[in-house]
């Protein structure tokens, strides 16, 4: 007589000890707090003049005035943080969007077609090692002193990360999936749309995360030389006036904005790639 299969429910996880629950809540903040505390102690020790290495508390005061216009200690920049961030964010997302659209489209074409790969990839590989900052003179000549050269430099800094990740994603698609799609009568267009593009999405999102970091780095460089607004311009202008507390506040602002931008891409990727949930180490870590 055949036996009836019995489903076994997974055993409930044992409750965590109180100290372990507390540790999990604060573990991400431990290293930043230790770094800030060590920095505060070192700055106040007198090893370096306070003007050369402002303490975190001094930086926070300058940053707070830049954002909320508390006491006017940042002078012309007092209360203008949101406008400076808006200018930088516009340049970053304009260049990043152009790089994403062109990088994904061209990467799909190069990864899928040997003809396109032979025609275009050698030229791109020659251009790829050229540092984006070396394009600054030409960008200023072509576009003048305004937003366009900054957007162009952000585009250059982001484009190749998206392009190479997309090519890698397309070229590593499982051939068995393509054979199965072709056997069911799928045209090349349908194979690209329903098999190749979804399979390449994890690599594409990896490229987008690298690209958004490069975009923030490049927009600061561009704002130092090509425009007169934005967080990068504030950083460079504060350096000329020896306001190193505001320089560090600008650096911290860029780091925070880059972190938030990357977090948005991670959330979008987690939603789009929810079919990976439970099957990868990244999904397990959350």
Mind listing the pLDDT tens digit for each residue in 105-145? 999 999 999 999 999 988 998 999 998 888 888 888 888 87
For the segment(s) 75-274, the CATH number from 3.40.190.10, 1.10.3720.10, 3.30.360.10, 1.20.58.60 is: 1.10.3720.10
Q: Name the least confident of 15-24, 45-54, 155-164.
A: 15-24
**How distant is the alpha carbon of residue 86 from its chain centre?**
17
The percentage of the chain sitting over the pLDDT mark of 70, rounded to a whole number, equals 91
Lowest-confidence region among 244-248, 274-278, 281-285: 281-285
**Mean pLDDT throughout 57-64?**
93
Confidence of residue 10 (pLDDT cuts 50, 70, 90): low
The pLDDT, as a whole number, for residue 61 is 93
Q: What are the φ and ψ backbone dihedral angles of 5, each rounded to 5 degrees?
A: -60, 140
Condensed to tens digits (0 to 9), the pLDDT of residues 245-262 reads: 999 999 999 999 999 999
pLDDT at 67 over 60: yes
58: exposed, middle or buried (Cβ count in 10 Å: 0-12, 13-18, 19+): buried
pLDDT band at 175; cut points 50, 70, 90: confident
pTM of the model: 0.82
| Alpha helices, DSSP H, located in 146-242 | 147-171, 175-183, 188-191, 197-225, 231-240
- Position 2 pLDDT exceeds 50: no
Distance from first CA to last CA of the chain, Å, rounded?
Answer: 45
Rounded CA-CA distance 83/250 in Å is 13
pLDDT at residue number 1? 44
Instruction: Write down the mean pLDDT value for the chain.
Output: 87
CA pair distance 103, 207, nearest whole angstrom: 9
Q: pLDDT category, 282, cuts 50, 70, 90?
A: low
Angle 242-245-250 from CA coordinates, rounded to 5°: 100
Specify whether the CB–CB gap between 202 and 180 falls below 8 A: no
Q: Dihedral sign, CA of 109, 110, 116, 119?
A: positive
Report residue 59 as tokens.
Answer: 């930086």
| pLDDT score, position 211 | 95
Highest mean pLDDT (candidates 114-123, 213-222, 271-280): 114-123
User: 26 pLDDT exceeds 70?
Assistant: yes
The predicted pLDDT at position 8 comes to 53
User: What is the domain partition of the chain in residue ranges?
Assistant: 75-274
- State both tokens at 194: 């329903």
Which band of pLDDT confidence, cut at 50, 70 and 90, is reported for residue 284? low
Q: Which pLDDT score is estimated for 252?
A: 94
| pLDDT at residue 13 in the model | 65
Query: Residues 14-30: what's their mean pLDDT?
Result: 80
pLDDT of 224 > 90? The answer is no
Q: Which pLDDT value is given to residue 7?
A: 52
Amino acid 47: pLDDT: 83
């Amino acid at each position: 007589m055949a036996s009836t299969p019995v489903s076994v429910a997974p055993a409930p996880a044992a409750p965590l000890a109180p100290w372990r629950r507390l540790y999990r809540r604060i573990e991400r903040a431990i290293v930043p707090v230790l770094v800030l505390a060590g920095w505060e102690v070192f700055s106040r020790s007198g090893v370096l003049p306070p003007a050369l290495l402002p303490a975190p508390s001094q930086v926070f005061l300058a940053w707070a005035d830049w954002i909320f216009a508390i006491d006017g200690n940042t002078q012309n920049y007092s209360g203008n943080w949101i406008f400076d961030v808006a200018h930088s964010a516009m340049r970053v997302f304009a260049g990043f969007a152009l790089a994403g659209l062109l990088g994904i489209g061209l990467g799909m074409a190069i990864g899928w077609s040997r003809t396109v790969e032979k025609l275009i990839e050698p030229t791109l590989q020659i251009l790829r090692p050229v540092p984006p900052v070396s394009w600054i003179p030409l960008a200023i000549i072509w576009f003048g002193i305004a937003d366009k050269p900054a957007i162009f430099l952000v585009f250059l800094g982001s484009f190749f990360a998206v392009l190479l990740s997309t090519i890698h994603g397309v070229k590593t698609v499982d051939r068995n999936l393509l054979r199965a799609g072709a056997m069911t009568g799928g045209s090349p267009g349908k194979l690209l749309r329903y098999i190749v593009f979804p399979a390449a999405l994890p690599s594409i999102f990896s490229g987008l995360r690298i690209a958004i970091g490069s975009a923030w780095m490049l927009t600061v460089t561009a704002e130092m030389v090509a425009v007169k607004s934005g967080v990068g311009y504030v950083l460079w202008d504060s350096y000329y006036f020896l306001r190193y507390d505001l320089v560090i506040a600008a650096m911290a602002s860029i780091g925070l904005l880059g972190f938030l931008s990357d977090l948005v891409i991670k959330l979008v990727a987690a939603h789009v790639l929810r079919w990976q949930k439970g099957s990868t180490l990244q999904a397990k870590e959350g």
